Amino acid sequence: MAISLAEKAKELGLKYFLISYTDLFGSQRAKLVPASAIEGMQKNGAGFAGFATWLDLSPADPDMFAMPDPTTLTPLPWKKDVGWLASDIYMDGKRVEQGPRNVLQRVIAQAKAAGVQMKSGVECEFFLTTPDGTAIADSLDTATKPCYDAAALLRRYDVITELCDAMLELGWGAYQNDHEDANGQFEMNWNYADALITADRHVFFKFMAKSIAEKHGLRATFMPKPFLGLTGSGCHAHVSLWNGGTNLFEDDAGVLGVSALGYNFIGGTIEHADALAALLNPTVNSYKRINAPRTTSGATWAPNTVTYSGNNRTHMIRIPEPGRFEMRLADGATNPYLLQAGLLAAGLDGIARKTAPGPRLDINMYTDGHMVKDAKRLPLNLLDALRAFENSPVLAAALGESFVKSYAKLKHAEWNEYAAHLSSWERQATLDC
Ligand SMILES: [Mg+2]
């Protein structure tokens, strides 16, 4: 074994390990294991009753084991004697096919077989709210255009810098933090990396942001649209494809400095966008962020159509500079592993079939979108996205049929639960029918 966690415990002064995995709904599950027991856990995994989490398992199933990946060991910056670990989940000695981290590794293996590696960076927008989540925490943060507001950012200096210092200490290459376009909304950026590393960091970032906000008496939420009149929380992903040290998306001779291979990848994500929405916009609430009316700041900054552009933020895909593109569809609820897995699967299909992305649009899609008659629309709700997702043979082949089946089953159940609610709007609009 290359890395002994028992040795690491001594070296880093760790008293406990948090052996964690992420379920299909993006929830992080964990066992807190004393350092004295880590050697056995590293060998055999930590046991869980899989049915008790969102994995589409049965209560009759045997124990599920989370096998920690020692390369992910991260001492919690806010509780330094605890070492966090991401895990891969197993049952009966086999990987659980629908485990989100397993799904991503499956697609990464397909990319590797094709001689490519995806690197990505994510921009996780979030709100700092009151502990019950019903209002933004800062009552002075009321500007109509609050983006980059210096005073509102500095009023949250203690939380933001504790998070940023933690990322610096962990070597993620944190480089900027700002107040975003909605009151109470922030974004913190760190460097892009291999897709699996970024997904693990994304999971950890959400856990850390929530934990540190809570320590300060606040709540960090990544909910896509917590306040209807305000800009929602996106999770933009910046994507490039590499072979060793060569960025395969970069081409000086290509349009906007992007290679033919890059455009094929973009073409794949455009072709599969409606199915991808089930992963990138996985909640009922997600569809209040995309396809949304203008917010008080003047724009939603979220896409309405399946279109791409140059350095223009009103489309689903933006090419801000040579060698990469930004997918702006995903939101704060996306499962970090499934976001990367979905993008890579769609992109690889685009490359395999040399899919053309169609014409680039350089218009302001918010004001002039009606002039484009044939622009493909995004799904209007989770049900439409799920139907596209479960009818995509390409995604089923890449992500695994049992994953697609399990994910669609649980998400349909969530939709049905939502649909069974009688809302106050519904009563008001229908009572006198
Ligand atoms: Mg942003």
Same domain, 125 and 48: no
CA of 373 from ligand 1 middle (Å) equals: 28
Which of 29, 63, 96 is at the close of a domain?
96
Does 426 fall in a domain?
Answer: no
pLDDT, tens digit (0-9, with 9 covering 90-100), for 40-75: 999 999 999 999 999 999 999 999 999 999 999 999
166-202 residues labelled b (16+ CB within 10 A) or e (exposed): bbeebebebeebbbbbbbbbbbbbbebbebbebbbbb
Same domain, 76 and 183: no
Q: What's the structural domain count of the chain? A: 2
pLDDT over 90 percentage in the chain = 94
Same domain, 257 and 120: yes
**CATH number for the domain including 286?**
3.30.590.10
Does 411 fall in a domain?
Answer: no
Same domain, 91 and 127: no
Same domain, 170 and 66: no
Does 430 fall in a domain?
Answer: no
174 within 8 A of 190, measured Cβ to Cβ: yes
CA of 3 from ligand 1 middle (Å) equals: 37
CA of 302 from ligand 1 middle (Å) equals: 10
- State the pLDDT at residue 398: 98
CA of 428 from ligand 1 middle (Å) equals: 36
pLDDT, tens digit (0-9, with 9 covering 90-100), for 137-186: 999 999 999 999 999 999 999 999 999 999 999 999 999 999 999 999 99
**Rounded-to-integer distance, Cα 407 and Cα 389, Å:** 10
CA of 266 from ligand 1 middle (Å) equals: 21
pLDDT, tens digit (0-9, with 9 covering 90-100), for 260-286: 999 999 999 999 999 999 999 999 999
Same domain, 181 and 33: no
Does 210 fall in a domain?
Answer: yes
Same domain, 161 and 274: yes
Does 67 fall in a domain?
Answer: yes
Does 2 fall in a domain?
Answer: no
CA of 199 from ligand 1 middle (Å) equals: 18
Does 418 fall in a domain?
Answer: no
- State the pLDDT at residue 84: 98
Which of 65, 96, 127 is at the close of a domain?
96
CA of 323 from ligand 1 middle (Å) equals: 20
395 backbone φψ class: left, alpha, beta (φ>0; ψ -120 to 50): alpha
CA of 100 from ligand 1 middle (Å) equals: 25
pLDDT, tens digit (0-9, with 9 covering 90-100), for 197-254: 999 999 999 999 999 999 999 999 999 999 999 999 999 999 999 999 999 999 999 9
Does 217 fall in a domain?
Answer: yes
CA of 123 from ligand 1 middle (Å) equals: 6
- State the pLDDT at residue 353: 98
CA of 125 from ligand 1 middle (Å) equals: 6
Q: Average pLDDT in the 299-312 region?
A: 91
pLDDT, tens digit (0-9, with 9 covering 90-100), for 408-433: 999 999 999 999 999 999 999 999 99
Same domain, 19 and 165: no
Among candidate residues 193, 369, 344, 371, the one with its CA nearest the CA of residue 272? 344
pLDDT, tens digit (0-9, with 9 covering 90-100), for 379-410: 999 999 999 999 999 999 999 999 999 999 99
CA of 128 from ligand 1 middle (Å) equals: 15
196 within 8 A of 168, measured Cβ to Cβ: no
CA of 301 from ligand 1 middle (Å) equals: 8
CA of 234 from ligand 1 middle (Å) equals: 7
- State the pLDDT at residue 102: 98
CA of 127 from ligand 1 middle (Å) equals: 12
H helices of 83-229, in order, are 100-113, 150-155, 157-169, 195-215
Rounded to a whole number, what is the distance in angstroms from the first to the last CA of the chain?
A: 69
The domain in which residue 293 lies consists of 106-401
**CATH number for the domain including 69?**
3.10.20.70
CA of 327 from ligand 1 middle (Å) equals: 12
CA of 369 from ligand 1 middle (Å) equals: 22
For residue 1, pLDDT beyond 60: no
Cα 392–Cα 393–Cα 397 angle in degrees, nearest 5: 125
For ligand 1, a single-atom ion, the residues with CB < 5 A are 187
Same domain, 81 and 120: no
CA of 81 from ligand 1 middle (Å) equals: 33
CA of 236 from ligand 1 middle (Å) equals: 7
CA of 329 from ligand 1 middle (Å) equals: 12
Which of 69, 96, 123 is at the close of a domain?
96
CA of 147 from ligand 1 middle (Å) equals: 9
Same domain, 247 and 191: yes
Same domain, 57 and 180: no
CA of 364 from ligand 1 middle (Å) equals: 18
Q: Tally Cβ neighbours within 10 Å of residue 322.
A: 17
CA of 180 from ligand 1 middle (Å) equals: 6
Same domain, 142 and 275: yes
CA of 187 from ligand 1 middle (Å) equals: 6
